[in-house]
Structure 1
Amino acid sequence: MSSPPDHRVLVPVDVLEGESVPSTVVDAFASIPVVLLGYREIPDQTAPEQARDQYGDRVRAELEELRTVFEDVGCDVSTRLAFTHDRLKTFERVTVEESCDAVLLVNPAPVLESVLVAIRSDVNVDHIARLLRTLLDGTDLGVTLFHVAADEDDRTAGTELLETARTALVDEGVAADRIDSRVVVDGSPTTEILEAADDHDLLVVGESRPSVRRYVFRDRAERLAKRTVDPVLVIRGEYLEADDETANGETTDSETTGDEKTDSKTTDGRE
């Protein structure tokens, strides 16, 4: 069996708004290659090229400082820069282009001791477990696997689902005593996940099924990302090949962006 590909996480940061990455998050992600995306969401009437000319040097300087912070803890880090009219579409596009497994949406995290992992189905559980194992390596983070069952009749199925996820984590080398499981029954999964996240420091959510490669922030993942106060790690589903993406009728997103790979010093503008 071939080994899984190296993991990679996209970390978007609006440096012009003074957004930064807490040191607790930097330390936790030190073992995972990171792509730092310095971005700025701009008004529809502003051309990305205009924004880049006006703010590009400042964003590059701030991004370079942040890059140094990650490098100081031994993280493999690269950088991108983008001025965009739709930040989530840009995050999705760069995630695909950089072959990232997940997107980390940074919120304040003064303490990082526990992770809540919302599991919707058994699809992609092994993929999620591999990424979590990489994240947990070298940390003392505890993990709570969490599932919201539709009704009492589904509670048993939810318990079995979390046991499947727990087994996958243990098989990846995560100590069993670091893993808790919790099933709740409620008509509003989003509300229950947000309430449970209040007792944890990092929320991990993933797609419920494999999807075309472009989509990351669909349905509940997008709502959770917008409403929680915790950092959120949104894990992509297992990837489909580019040919499959084309076969499914997917085209490039409609966002307009001035985008720059700061490592290679190349720029492009996309309509």
Structure 2
Amino acid sequence: MSSPRDHRVLVPVDVLEGQTVPSTVVDAFASIPIVLLGYREIPDQTAPEQAREQYGDRVRAELEELRTVFEDAGCDVTSRLAFTHDRLKTFERVTVEESCDAVLLLNPAPVLETVLVAIRSDVNVDHIARLLRTVLDGTDLEVTLFHVASDEDGRNAGRELLETARTALIDEGVDGGRIESTVVVDGSPTTAILETAADHDLLVVGESRPSIRRYVFRDRAERLAKRTVDPVLVIRGEYLEAPGDGMDGDTDE
């Protein structure tokens, strides 16, 4: 069984826009090391160095306050500060540099009791189970494993996939009584996930392609984060990209 220290989650926060981390999220993620990324997306014509000189002290102060909130909850937290022309590119770079397993896209979370885990047929369920078990440690969160089949022929395969995921979670030490499974048939997976997520407090999705920016943030997970009221936890694949691959144009400290 993996240890919580085997995992890290990146939490990007646009502090100058007044974005904060809900206390329910802080409590739920207190058992897993956090990389807190305070960032500010700036216009193309503004140099990152200029923005850092103008806003750096304010951003550092806001970031330090957020860091203290996590530390007070007993969380192992590292902080980073970035001014960037492309926030998604920066998320990708920092995730790789800090060896994070997941990225938490923030939304308000007044209550955090139930988790919807949307699982596609091409994800590594064992990897998702290991990180999800770490997140569940020390919480009473209930889990619903969810799969969207494109047609009726795919329903049984979906059930088998979720049973595999359920077994993986139980093998990681999660009480089977906390886990439910649901398979639906829908031609629009995003719509089906959003409708079901409305009855849950945290949405978990997995990605499998070798680019966080190309798939996770410019595809379904980014759209889900914009259209749901829930925080969205995006679990990466087990690969690690080279830190220099296509990542430039920002500065941090």
Report TM bin, short chain: over 0.9
What is the alpha-carbon distance in structure 2 between the residues aligned to residue 96 and residue 237 of structure 1?
11
Once the two structures are TM-superposed, the CA of residue 46 in structure 1 deviates from its matched residue by 1.0
- Indicate the larger mover: 38-47 or 217-226: 217-226
Structure 2 equivalent of residue 63 of structure 1: 63
Give the TM-score taking structure 2 as reference length: 0.94
Structure 2 equivalent of residue 265 of structure 1: none
What is the alpha-carbon distance in structure 2 between the residues aligned to residue 174 and residue 54 of structure 1?
48
Kept in 2, the 8 Å contact 1:117–1:145? The answer is yes
Once the two structures are TM-superposed, the CA of residue 221 in structure 1 deviates from its matched residue by 2.0
The share of aligned pairs that are identical, in percent, is: 84
Aligned AA for 2:43?
P
CA deviations 1:220-252 (Å, max 9, x no partner) are 22221222221000110111464xx9xxxx832
2:190 corresponds to 1:190 = yes
Structure 1: tracts of 5 or more residues without a match = 261-271
Structure 1 equivalent of residue 169 of structure 2: 169
CA deviations 1:104-162 (Å, max 9, x no partner) are 01110000000000000253110100000000010000000000000001000001000
Aligned AA for 2:127?
H
Within 5 A, what are the aligned runs for 1:179-258? Answer: 179-207=179-207, 209=208, 211=210, 216-240=216-240, 242=242, 251-253=245-247, 255-258=248-251
Structure 2 equivalent of residue 259 of structure 1: 252
What is the alpha-carbon distance in structure 1 between the residues aligned to residue 2 and residue 176 of structure 2?
25
The 3-state SS of whatever aligns with 1:16 is: helix
What is the alpha-carbon distance in structure 1 between the residues aligned to residue 5 and residue 231 of structure 2?
25
Structure 1 equivalent of residue 118 of structure 2: 118
The 3-state SS of whatever aligns with 2:81 is: strand
Equivalenced residue count is 252
Moved over 2 A (4+): 1-5, 209-219, 250-253
Kept in 2, the 8 Å contact 1:128–1:235? The answer is yes
Kept in 2, the 8 Å contact 1:92–1:217? The answer is no
Kept in 2, the 8 Å contact 1:34–1:76? The answer is yes
Kept in 2, the 8 Å contact 1:116–1:144? The answer is yes
What is the alpha-carbon distance in structure 2 between the residues aligned to residue 156 and residue 223 of structure 1?
28
- Indicate the larger mover: 211-220 or 91-100: 211-220
Kept in 2, the 8 Å contact 1:96–1:213? The answer is no
What is the alpha-carbon distance in structure 1 between the residues aligned to residue 176 and residue 33 of structure 2?
26
Kept in 2, the 8 Å contact 1:149–1:158? The answer is yes
What is the alpha-carbon distance in structure 2 between the residues aligned to residue 85 and residue 213 of structure 1?
17
Structure 2 equivalent of residue 268 of structure 1: none
What is the alpha-carbon distance in structure 1 between the residues aligned to residue 241 and residue 3 of structure 2?
18
Once the two structures are TM-superposed, the CA of residue 214 in structure 1 deviates from its matched residue by 6.9
Once the two structures are TM-superposed, the CA of residue 15 in structure 1 deviates from its matched residue by 0.7
CA RMSD for the aligned pairs? 2.0
Aligned AA for 2:245?
T
Flag the 1:58–1:117 CA change in 2: closer, same or farther, 3 A: same
Aligned AA for 2:78?
S
What is the alpha-carbon distance in structure 2 between the residues aligned to residue 4 and residue 212 of structure 1?
25
The 3-state SS of whatever aligns with 1:234 is: strand
The 3-state SS of whatever aligns with 2:30 is: coil
Structure 2 equivalent of residue 159 of structure 1: 159
What is the alpha-carbon distance in structure 1 between the residues aligned to residue 200 and residue 87 of structure 2?
26
Kept in 2, the 8 Å contact 1:84–1:256? The answer is yes
